[in-house]
Structure 1
Amino acid sequence: MSSKSQWRPLTLTILTLGATLVMGMVDAETFLNHGAVFVSAQTGGTLVVLMVKFVLHGWSAAWVNVPVFIGYFLGCFGAQGLSERLGRGDSRRQLRALMAIDVVVYFGLAGLQKMLPTLWLIFALGVVAGYELTVFREVGGIAINNGIMTGNTKNLATATYRSWVDHDHTALQHQGRLLLVLAIFLVGCGSGALLAQVADFTVLWVASGVKTALLAWLFLPRAQAVSGN
Protein backbone atom coordinates (compact mmCIF):
# COMPACT_ATOMS: atom_id res chain seq x y z
CA MET A 1 0.00 0.00 0.00
CA SER A 2 1.34 3.37 -0.97
CA SER A 3 0.42 6.82 0.29
CA LYS A 4 -0.15 10.01 -1.55
CA SER A 5 0.35 13.40 0.08
CA GLN A 6 -2.32 15.97 -0.59
CA TRP A 7 -3.14 19.38 0.82
CA ARG A 8 -5.48 19.60 3.75
CA PRO A 9 -8.66 21.61 3.00
CA LEU A 10 -7.52 23.98 5.75
CA THR A 11 -4.38 24.78 3.74
CA LEU A 12 -6.38 25.87 0.69
CA THR A 13 -8.59 27.96 2.96
CA ILE A 14 -5.60 29.67 4.59
CA LEU A 15 -4.07 30.50 1.21
CA THR A 16 -7.32 31.99 -0.08
CA LEU A 17 -7.97 34.01 3.07
CA GLY A 18 -4.39 35.28 2.93
CA ALA A 19 -4.92 36.35 -0.67
CA THR A 20 -8.20 38.01 0.34
CA LEU A 21 -6.46 39.99 3.08
CA VAL A 22 -3.74 41.13 0.68
CA MET A 23 -6.24 42.06 -2.03
CA GLY A 24 -8.06 44.32 0.43
CA MET A 25 -4.79 45.96 1.48
CA VAL A 26 -3.62 46.57 -2.09
CA ASP A 27 -7.01 47.85 -3.26
CA ALA A 28 -7.04 50.41 -0.45
CA GLU A 29 -3.50 51.51 -1.25
CA THR A 30 -4.05 51.90 -4.99
CA PHE A 31 -7.33 53.72 -4.43
CA LEU A 32 -5.68 56.22 -2.09
CA ASN A 33 -2.33 56.69 -3.80
CA HIS A 34 -2.76 55.74 -7.46
CA GLY A 35 -5.66 57.62 -8.94
CA ALA A 36 -8.66 55.89 -7.30
CA VAL A 37 -7.86 52.58 -9.01
CA PHE A 38 -8.88 49.14 -7.74
CA VAL A 39 -6.76 46.17 -8.81
CA SER A 40 -9.18 43.37 -7.90
CA ALA A 41 -12.67 44.83 -8.44
CA GLN A 42 -12.75 45.15 -12.21
CA THR A 43 -16.46 45.57 -12.96
CA GLY A 44 -17.62 48.08 -10.37
CA GLY A 45 -14.21 49.25 -9.30
CA THR A 46 -12.49 49.73 -12.64
CA LEU A 47 -14.96 49.81 -15.52
CA VAL A 48 -17.55 52.01 -13.80
CA VAL A 49 -14.91 54.41 -12.50
CA LEU A 50 -13.25 54.42 -15.92
CA MET A 51 -16.41 55.58 -17.67
CA VAL A 52 -17.33 58.08 -14.93
CA LYS A 53 -13.88 59.65 -15.14
CA PHE A 54 -14.02 59.68 -18.92
CA VAL A 55 -17.43 61.35 -19.09
CA LEU A 56 -16.75 63.90 -16.35
CA HIS A 57 -13.06 64.67 -16.81
CA GLY A 58 -11.94 63.20 -20.12
CA TRP A 59 -9.35 60.66 -21.14
CA SER A 60 -6.56 62.33 -19.18
CA ALA A 61 -8.28 61.27 -15.95
CA ALA A 62 -9.68 57.94 -17.15
CA TRP A 63 -6.62 56.36 -18.78
CA VAL A 64 -5.11 55.20 -15.46
CA ASN A 65 -7.90 52.62 -15.13
CA VAL A 66 -7.11 50.92 -18.45
CA PRO A 67 -3.74 49.27 -17.71
CA VAL A 68 -5.01 47.66 -14.51
CA PHE A 69 -7.89 46.08 -16.44
CA ILE A 70 -5.51 44.76 -19.10
CA GLY A 71 -3.12 43.52 -16.42
CA TYR A 72 -5.94 41.75 -14.59
CA PHE A 73 -7.00 39.96 -17.76
CA LEU A 74 -3.44 38.86 -18.50
CA GLY A 75 -2.96 37.72 -14.90
CA CYS A 76 -6.02 35.46 -15.08
CA PHE A 77 -4.91 34.16 -18.47
CA GLY A 78 -1.36 33.44 -17.32
CA ALA A 79 -2.45 31.85 -14.04
CA GLN A 80 -4.68 29.40 -15.88
CA GLY A 81 -1.79 28.37 -18.10
CA LEU A 82 0.64 27.99 -15.21
CA SER A 83 -1.90 26.02 -13.16
CA GLU A 84 -2.26 23.53 -16.00
CA ARG A 85 1.46 23.10 -16.62
CA LEU A 86 3.37 23.55 -13.37
CA GLY A 87 3.87 20.36 -11.36
CA ARG A 88 1.38 18.44 -13.42
CA GLY A 89 0.27 15.42 -11.38
CA ASP A 90 1.99 16.68 -8.21
CA SER A 91 -0.27 18.99 -6.22
CA ARG A 92 2.42 19.80 -3.66
CA ARG A 93 4.92 20.92 -6.25
CA GLN A 94 2.29 22.82 -8.21
CA LEU A 95 0.93 24.88 -5.32
CA ARG A 96 4.38 25.63 -3.92
CA ALA A 97 5.55 26.81 -7.34
CA LEU A 98 2.49 29.00 -7.83
CA MET A 99 2.93 30.55 -4.39
CA ALA A 100 6.67 31.04 -4.91
CA ILE A 101 5.94 33.00 -8.09
CA ASP A 102 3.50 35.14 -6.12
CA VAL A 103 6.09 35.86 -3.42
CA VAL A 104 8.84 36.76 -5.91
CA VAL A 105 6.56 39.13 -7.82
CA TYR A 106 5.37 40.88 -4.64
CA PHE A 107 8.91 41.44 -3.38
CA GLY A 108 9.93 42.65 -6.82
CA LEU A 109 7.10 45.18 -6.95
CA ALA A 110 7.74 46.27 -3.36
CA GLY A 111 11.38 46.95 -4.21
CA LEU A 112 10.62 48.75 -7.47
CA GLN A 113 7.48 50.67 -6.48
CA LYS A 114 9.31 53.98 -5.98
CA MET A 115 10.91 53.71 -9.42
CA LEU A 116 8.02 52.39 -11.49
CA PRO A 117 5.69 54.93 -13.13
CA THR A 118 2.09 54.66 -11.93
CA LEU A 119 1.08 53.18 -15.30
CA TRP A 120 3.42 50.21 -14.94
CA LEU A 121 2.88 49.70 -11.22
CA ILE A 122 -0.89 49.42 -11.44
CA PHE A 123 -0.55 47.27 -14.55
CA ALA A 124 1.69 44.86 -12.63
CA LEU A 125 -0.61 44.90 -9.61
CA GLY A 126 -3.51 44.13 -11.92
CA VAL A 127 -1.58 41.12 -13.24
CA VAL A 128 -0.97 39.90 -9.68
CA ALA A 129 -4.62 40.39 -8.74
CA GLY A 130 -5.81 38.36 -11.71
CA TYR A 131 -3.25 35.69 -10.90
CA GLU A 132 -4.33 35.41 -7.28
CA LEU A 133 -8.05 35.41 -7.99
CA THR A 134 -7.50 32.54 -10.41
CA VAL A 135 -5.19 30.40 -8.26
CA PHE A 136 -6.39 30.95 -4.67
CA ARG A 137 -10.17 30.68 -4.60
CA GLU A 138 -11.40 28.03 -2.19
CA VAL A 139 -12.61 28.45 1.42
CA GLY A 140 -13.92 25.45 3.30
CA GLY A 141 -14.53 23.54 0.09
CA ILE A 142 -16.51 26.28 -1.69
CA ALA A 143 -15.28 28.49 -4.51
CA ILE A 144 -15.08 32.21 -3.76
CA ASN A 145 -13.68 35.35 -5.33
CA ASN A 146 -11.08 36.67 -2.94
CA GLY A 147 -11.13 40.23 -4.24
CA ILE A 148 -14.47 40.67 -6.00
CA MET A 149 -16.96 41.03 -3.16
CA THR A 150 -20.03 41.65 -5.34
CA GLY A 151 -20.40 37.98 -6.24
CA ASN A 152 -19.60 36.92 -2.70
CA THR A 153 -22.30 39.22 -1.33
CA LYS A 154 -24.85 37.79 -3.77
CA ASN A 155 -23.87 34.26 -2.76
CA LEU A 156 -24.10 35.26 0.89
CA ALA A 157 -27.64 36.53 0.40
CA THR A 158 -28.79 33.37 -1.36
CA ALA A 159 -27.07 31.15 1.22
CA THR A 160 -28.72 33.15 4.00
CA TYR A 161 -32.14 32.63 2.44
CA ARG A 162 -31.62 28.89 2.00
CA SER A 163 -30.30 28.65 5.55
CA TRP A 164 -32.95 30.72 7.32
CA VAL A 165 -36.00 29.95 5.20
CA ASP A 166 -35.29 26.50 3.75
CA HIS A 167 -33.36 25.34 6.84
CA ASP A 168 -30.54 24.05 4.63
CA HIS A 169 -27.60 23.04 6.86
CA THR A 170 -25.12 23.17 3.98
CA ALA A 171 -26.23 26.70 3.14
CA LEU A 172 -25.61 27.66 6.77
CA GLN A 173 -22.00 26.51 6.43
CA HIS A 174 -21.62 28.47 3.20
CA GLN A 175 -23.06 31.53 4.91
CA GLY A 176 -20.42 31.40 7.64
CA ARG A 177 -17.57 30.98 5.17
CA LEU A 178 -18.72 33.84 2.98
CA LEU A 179 -19.09 36.09 6.02
CA LEU A 180 -15.51 35.21 6.97
CA VAL A 181 -14.26 36.13 3.49
CA LEU A 182 -16.06 39.49 3.59
CA ALA A 183 -14.71 40.21 7.06
CA ILE A 184 -11.12 39.35 6.05
CA PHE A 185 -11.39 41.58 2.98
CA LEU A 186 -12.65 44.48 5.09
CA VAL A 187 -9.80 43.97 7.57
CA GLY A 188 -7.40 44.07 4.65
CA CYS A 189 -8.94 47.28 3.31
CA GLY A 190 -8.72 48.93 6.72
CA SER A 191 -5.15 47.78 7.27
CA GLY A 192 -4.13 48.94 3.81
CA ALA A 193 -5.72 52.35 4.34
CA LEU A 194 -3.93 52.82 7.66
CA LEU A 195 -0.57 51.70 6.29
CA ALA A 196 -0.93 53.87 3.20
CA GLN A 197 -1.63 56.93 5.36
CA VAL A 198 0.82 56.32 8.20
CA ALA A 199 3.84 54.99 6.32
CA ASP A 200 4.01 55.37 2.56
CA PHE A 201 5.20 52.44 0.43
CA THR A 202 4.76 49.89 3.24
CA VAL A 203 1.65 48.08 1.96
CA LEU A 204 3.48 46.01 -0.64
CA TRP A 205 6.23 45.11 1.83
CA VAL A 206 3.66 43.91 4.36
CA ALA A 207 1.86 42.02 1.61
CA SER A 208 5.15 40.38 0.64
CA GLY A 209 5.65 39.29 4.24
CA VAL A 210 2.16 37.76 4.37
CA LYS A 211 2.84 35.88 1.15
CA THR A 212 6.16 34.60 2.47
CA ALA A 213 4.44 33.26 5.58
CA LEU A 214 1.90 31.46 3.38
CA LEU A 215 4.67 29.92 1.30
CA ALA A 216 6.42 28.74 4.47
CA TRP A 217 3.16 27.12 5.62
CA LEU A 218 3.17 24.93 2.50
CA PHE A 219 6.41 23.27 3.66
CA LEU A 220 5.06 22.30 7.08
CA PRO A 221 3.93 18.67 7.52
CA ARG A 222 0.61 19.77 9.05
CA ALA A 223 -0.28 21.56 5.82
CA GLN A 224 -0.61 18.17 4.14
CA ALA A 225 -2.96 15.25 4.57
CA VAL A 226 -1.68 11.76 3.87
CA SER A 227 -4.21 9.32 2.50
CA GLY A 228 -3.62 5.68 1.73
CA ASN A 229 -4.18 4.27 -1.76
Structure 2
Amino acid sequence: MGPVTERQFRPMTETILTLGATLVMGMIDADTFLNHGAVFVSAQTGNLVVFVVKLVEHGWSDAWVNVPVWIGYFLGCFGAQGLSEHISQDNHRRQMRWLLLLDILAYAILASLQTNLPTIWLVFFLGVVAGYELTIFRQVGGIGINNGIMSGNTKNLATDTYRAWIDGDREARVRQGKLALVLITFILGCALGARLAILTALGVLWIATGLKLILLCWLFLPVAMEKPRG
Protein backbone atom coordinates (compact mmCIF):
# COMPACT_ATOMS: atom_id res chain seq x y z
CA MET A 1 0.00 0.00 0.00
CA GLY A 2 1.56 3.28 -1.15
CA PRO A 3 1.82 6.52 0.82
CA VAL A 4 -1.33 8.64 1.08
CA THR A 5 -1.06 11.85 -0.93
CA GLU A 6 -2.67 14.93 0.60
CA ARG A 7 -5.30 16.21 -1.81
CA GLN A 8 -5.01 19.89 -2.63
CA PHE A 9 -7.38 22.41 -4.16
CA ARG A 10 -7.91 22.51 -7.90
CA PRO A 11 -6.56 25.66 -9.62
CA MET A 12 -10.18 26.55 -10.37
CA THR A 13 -10.82 26.80 -6.63
CA GLU A 14 -8.30 29.63 -6.19
CA THR A 15 -9.84 31.33 -9.21
CA ILE A 16 -13.28 31.18 -7.59
CA LEU A 17 -11.91 32.55 -4.31
CA THR A 18 -10.19 35.44 -6.07
CA LEU A 19 -13.21 36.31 -8.21
CA GLY A 20 -15.34 36.18 -5.07
CA ALA A 21 -12.99 38.62 -3.35
CA THR A 22 -13.06 40.85 -6.44
CA LEU A 23 -16.86 40.90 -6.49
CA VAL A 24 -17.03 41.72 -2.78
CA MET A 25 -14.40 44.45 -3.07
CA GLY A 26 -16.39 46.10 -5.84
CA MET A 27 -19.49 45.96 -3.64
CA ILE A 28 -17.75 47.42 -0.59
CA ASP A 29 -16.01 50.18 -2.58
CA ALA A 30 -19.32 51.32 -4.07
CA ASP A 31 -20.98 51.25 -0.64
CA THR A 32 -18.25 53.19 1.18
CA PHE A 33 -18.06 55.75 -1.62
CA LEU A 34 -21.81 56.39 -1.51
CA ASN A 35 -22.50 56.03 2.21
CA HIS A 36 -19.26 56.64 4.09
CA GLY A 37 -17.63 59.87 3.02
CA ALA A 38 -16.55 59.08 -0.56
CA VAL A 39 -13.76 56.69 0.42
CA PHE A 40 -12.54 53.54 -1.33
CA VAL A 41 -11.36 50.64 0.82
CA SER A 42 -9.66 48.55 -1.88
CA ALA A 43 -9.05 50.99 -4.76
CA GLN A 44 -6.32 53.01 -3.08
CA THR A 45 -5.46 54.93 -6.25
CA GLY A 46 -8.99 56.31 -6.27
CA ASN A 47 -8.86 56.85 -2.52
CA LEU A 48 -5.69 58.96 -2.77
CA VAL A 49 -7.13 60.98 -5.67
CA VAL A 50 -10.29 61.72 -3.68
CA PHE A 51 -8.15 62.62 -0.65
CA VAL A 52 -6.07 65.15 -2.56
CA VAL A 53 -9.12 66.68 -4.30
CA LYS A 54 -10.87 67.09 -0.94
CA LEU A 55 -7.71 68.55 0.58
CA VAL A 56 -7.30 71.14 -2.17
CA GLU A 57 -10.97 72.08 -2.42
CA HIS A 58 -12.15 71.88 1.20
CA GLY A 59 -9.09 71.46 3.41
CA TRP A 60 -7.93 68.89 5.93
CA SER A 61 -11.21 68.83 7.87
CA ASP A 62 -12.94 67.21 4.88
CA ALA A 63 -10.02 65.16 3.51
CA TRP A 64 -8.70 63.41 6.59
CA VAL A 65 -11.39 60.67 6.53
CA ASN A 66 -9.55 59.12 3.56
CA VAL A 67 -6.32 58.70 5.53
CA PRO A 68 -7.38 56.01 8.08
CA VAL A 69 -8.64 53.71 5.33
CA TRP A 70 -5.23 53.92 3.61
CA ILE A 71 -3.50 53.09 6.91
CA GLY A 72 -5.95 50.23 7.46
CA TYR A 73 -5.29 48.87 3.97
CA PHE A 74 -1.53 48.98 4.59
CA LEU A 75 -1.90 47.15 7.90
CA GLY A 76 -4.22 44.58 6.32
CA CYS A 77 -1.66 43.73 3.64
CA PHE A 78 1.11 43.62 6.25
CA GLY A 79 -0.86 41.34 8.56
CA ALA A 80 -2.04 39.06 5.75
CA GLN A 81 1.54 38.44 4.68
CA GLY A 82 2.47 37.46 8.22
CA LEU A 83 -0.54 35.18 8.65
CA SER A 84 0.05 33.45 5.32
CA GLU A 85 3.61 32.67 6.42
CA HIS A 86 2.63 31.25 9.80
CA ILE A 87 -0.81 29.58 9.51
CA SER A 88 -0.54 25.96 8.30
CA GLN A 89 2.05 26.87 5.69
CA ASP A 90 2.80 23.18 5.13
CA ASN A 91 -0.86 22.44 4.28
CA HIS A 92 -2.27 24.84 1.70
CA ARG A 93 -5.75 23.36 1.93
CA ARG A 94 -6.02 23.92 5.69
CA GLN A 95 -4.34 27.32 5.35
CA MET A 96 -6.90 28.65 2.88
CA ARG A 97 -9.78 27.46 5.03
CA TRP A 98 -8.40 29.21 8.10
CA LEU A 99 -7.60 32.42 6.22
CA LEU A 100 -11.08 32.53 4.68
CA LEU A 101 -12.68 31.83 8.07
CA LEU A 102 -10.82 34.83 9.54
CA ASP A 103 -12.10 36.90 6.62
CA ILE A 104 -15.70 35.84 7.31
CA LEU A 105 -15.41 36.56 11.04
CA ALA A 106 -14.09 40.05 10.29
CA TYR A 107 -17.01 40.80 7.96
CA ALA A 108 -19.55 39.38 10.43
CA ILE A 109 -18.16 41.46 13.31
CA LEU A 110 -18.14 44.66 11.24
CA ALA A 111 -21.65 43.97 9.95
CA SER A 112 -22.84 43.51 13.54
CA LEU A 113 -21.17 46.69 14.77
CA GLN A 114 -21.74 48.97 11.77
CA THR A 115 -24.53 50.95 13.46
CA ASN A 116 -22.40 51.51 16.58
CA LEU A 117 -18.98 52.19 15.07
CA PRO A 118 -18.15 55.76 14.03
CA THR A 119 -17.65 56.00 10.26
CA ILE A 120 -13.94 56.66 10.67
CA TRP A 121 -13.43 53.37 12.51
CA LEU A 122 -15.70 51.42 10.18
CA VAL A 123 -13.78 52.47 7.07
CA PHE A 124 -10.48 51.89 8.86
CA PHE A 125 -11.39 48.28 9.67
CA LEU A 126 -12.85 47.77 6.20
CA GLY A 127 -9.52 48.98 4.85
CA VAL A 128 -7.77 46.36 6.98
CA VAL A 129 -10.07 43.63 5.62
CA ALA A 130 -9.59 44.84 2.04
CA GLY A 131 -5.80 44.76 2.36
CA TYR A 132 -6.04 41.28 3.88
CA GLU A 133 -8.31 39.95 1.11
CA LEU A 134 -6.34 41.39 -1.77
CA THR A 135 -3.10 39.95 -0.38
CA ILE A 136 -4.49 36.44 0.20
CA PHE A 137 -6.77 35.92 -2.83
CA ARG A 138 -4.88 36.86 -5.99
CA GLN A 139 -4.79 33.93 -8.44
CA VAL A 140 -7.06 33.59 -11.48
CA GLY A 141 -6.47 30.60 -13.71
CA GLY A 142 -2.88 30.28 -12.55
CA ILE A 143 -1.89 33.91 -13.16
CA GLY A 144 -1.27 36.44 -10.41
CA ILE A 145 -3.55 39.46 -10.49
CA ASN A 146 -4.24 42.42 -8.24
CA ASN A 147 -7.98 42.45 -7.83
CA GLY A 148 -7.94 45.92 -6.28
CA ILE A 149 -5.98 47.77 -8.96
CA MET A 150 -8.06 47.86 -12.12
CA SER A 151 -5.72 50.36 -13.81
CA GLY A 152 -2.93 47.76 -13.72
CA ASN A 153 -5.28 45.01 -14.85
CA THR A 154 -6.52 47.21 -17.71
CA LYS A 155 -2.93 47.89 -18.78
CA ASN A 156 -2.14 44.17 -18.72
CA LEU A 157 -5.34 43.43 -20.64
CA ALA A 158 -4.35 45.93 -23.34
CA THR A 159 -0.81 44.58 -23.71
CA ASP A 160 -2.00 40.97 -23.75
CA THR A 161 -4.66 41.87 -26.32
CA TYR A 162 -1.93 43.26 -28.57
CA ARG A 163 0.23 40.16 -28.12
CA ALA A 164 -2.75 37.88 -28.68
CA TRP A 165 -4.17 39.47 -31.83
CA ILE A 166 -1.15 41.18 -33.40
CA ASP A 167 1.69 38.84 -32.41
CA GLY A 168 -0.45 35.68 -32.41
CA ASP A 169 0.60 34.75 -28.85
CA ARG A 170 -1.76 32.00 -27.65
CA GLU A 171 -0.74 32.31 -24.00
CA ALA A 172 -1.48 36.03 -24.12
CA ARG A 173 -4.94 35.23 -25.47
CA VAL A 174 -5.60 33.01 -22.45
CA ARG A 175 -4.39 35.74 -20.07
CA GLN A 176 -6.54 38.26 -21.93
CA GLY A 177 -9.69 36.28 -21.16
CA LYS A 178 -8.79 35.89 -17.49
CA LEU A 179 -8.04 39.59 -17.03
CA ALA A 180 -11.26 40.54 -18.79
CA LEU A 181 -13.12 38.24 -16.38
CA VAL A 182 -11.55 40.03 -13.39
CA LEU A 183 -12.54 43.45 -14.74
CA ILE A 184 -16.10 42.36 -15.49
CA THR A 185 -16.43 40.81 -12.03
CA PHE A 186 -15.25 44.00 -10.34
CA ILE A 187 -17.65 46.12 -12.40
CA LEU A 188 -20.52 43.81 -11.52
CA GLY A 189 -19.54 44.05 -7.86
CA CYS A 190 -19.56 47.85 -8.05
CA ALA A 191 -22.98 47.83 -9.72
CA LEU A 192 -24.36 45.42 -7.14
CA GLY A 193 -22.86 47.42 -4.27
CA ALA A 194 -24.24 50.70 -5.61
CA ARG A 195 -27.71 49.22 -5.89
CA LEU A 196 -27.57 47.63 -2.44
CA ALA A 197 -26.22 50.85 -0.91
CA ILE A 198 -29.46 52.52 -1.99
CA LEU A 199 -31.84 49.67 -1.18
CA THR A 200 -30.32 48.36 2.05
CA ALA A 201 -27.26 50.26 3.23
CA LEU A 202 -26.90 48.07 6.33
CA GLY A 203 -27.28 44.90 4.28
CA VAL A 204 -24.14 45.24 2.15
CA LEU A 205 -21.75 43.86 4.77
CA TRP A 206 -24.15 41.06 5.68
CA ILE A 207 -24.45 40.05 2.03
CA ALA A 208 -20.65 40.15 1.71
CA THR A 209 -20.45 37.89 4.77
CA GLY A 210 -22.94 35.48 3.21
CA LEU A 211 -21.02 35.32 -0.06
CA LYS A 212 -17.82 34.57 1.81
CA LEU A 213 -19.55 31.86 3.82
CA ILE A 214 -20.66 30.21 0.58
CA LEU A 215 -17.04 30.25 -0.60
CA LEU A 216 -15.91 28.63 2.66
CA CYS A 217 -18.49 25.87 2.21
CA TRP A 218 -17.15 25.35 -1.32
CA LEU A 219 -13.70 24.62 0.14
CA PHE A 220 -15.10 21.56 1.91
CA LEU A 221 -16.74 20.03 -1.17
CA PRO A 222 -15.01 17.20 -3.08
CA VAL A 223 -15.38 19.16 -6.32
CA ALA A 224 -12.98 21.80 -4.95
CA MET A 225 -10.20 19.21 -4.65
CA GLU A 226 -7.87 17.69 -7.15
CA LYS A 227 -8.63 14.09 -8.02
CA PRO A 228 -6.38 11.63 -6.15
CA ARG A 229 -3.57 10.24 -8.27
CA GLY A 230 -3.07 6.58 -8.77
Counterpart of 1:68 in structure 2 is 69
Counterpart of 2:47 in structure 1 is 46
Secondary structure of the residue aligned to 1:225 is: coil
- The answer on whether the counterparts of 2:29 and 2:42 sit within 8 Å (CA) in structure 1 is yes
Instruction: Return the alpha-carbon distance in structure 1 between the equivalents of residues 14 and 201 of structure 2.
Output: 31
Instruction: Return the alpha-carbon distance in structure 2 between the equivalents of residues 186 and 200 of structure 1.
Output: 19
Secondary structure of the residue aligned to 2:81 is: helix
Counterpart of 2:163, as a letter, is R
Instruction: State the Cα deviation string for residues 132-178 of structure 1 (Å, max 9, x = none).
Output: 11000000001111122111101101110100111000000000001
Counterpart of 1:78 in structure 2 is 79
Counterpart of 2:185 in structure 1 is 184
Secondary structure of the residue aligned to 1:116 is: coil
Secondary structure of the residue aligned to 2:201 is: coil
Instruction: Return the alpha-carbon distance in structure 2 between the equivalents of residues 223 and 148 of structure 1.
Output: 27
Instruction: Return the alpha-carbon distance in structure 1 between the equivalents of residues 80 and 227 of structure 2.
Output: 27
Instruction: Return the alpha-carbon distance in structure 1 between the equivalents of residues 157 and 22 of structure 2.
Output: 16
- The answer on whether the counterparts of 2:88 and 2:95 sit within 8 Å (CA) in structure 1 is yes
Counterpart of 2:26 in structure 1 is 24
- The answer on whether the counterparts of 1:6 and 1:227 sit within 8 Å (CA) in structure 2 is no
Alignment pair present for 1:160 and 2:166: no
Instruction: Return the alpha-carbon distance in structure 2 between the equivalents of residues 55 and 209 of structure 1.
Output: 39
Counterpart of 1:216 in structure 2 is 217
Pairwise CA distance, 1:51: 1.1
Counterpart of 1:193, as a letter, is A
Aligned pairs (5 A) from 1:100-119: 100-119=101-120
Structure 2 unmatched ranges of 5 or more:
none
Pairwise CA distance, 1:4: 2.2
Counterpart of 2:15 in structure 1 is 13
TM-score, normalising length from structure 1?
0.97
Secondary structure of the residue aligned to 2:7 is: strand
Counterpart of 1:7, as a letter, is F
Pairwise CA distance, 1:92: 1.1
Counterpart of 1:58 in structure 2 is 59
**After the TM superposition, which parts of structure 1 deviate over 6 Å for at least 4 consecutive aligned residues?**
none
Pairwise CA distance, 1:208: 0.3
Secondary structure of the residue aligned to 1:5 is: coil
Instruction: State the Cα deviation string for residues 112-147 of structure 1 (Å, max 9, x = none).
Output: 111100110000000010001100000000111112
Alignment pair present for 1:37 and 2:35: no
Pairwise CA distance, 1:227: 4.7
Structure 1 unmatched ranges of 5 or more:
none
Instruction: Return the alpha-carbon distance in structure 2 between the equivalents of residues 91 and 227 of structure 1.
Output: 16
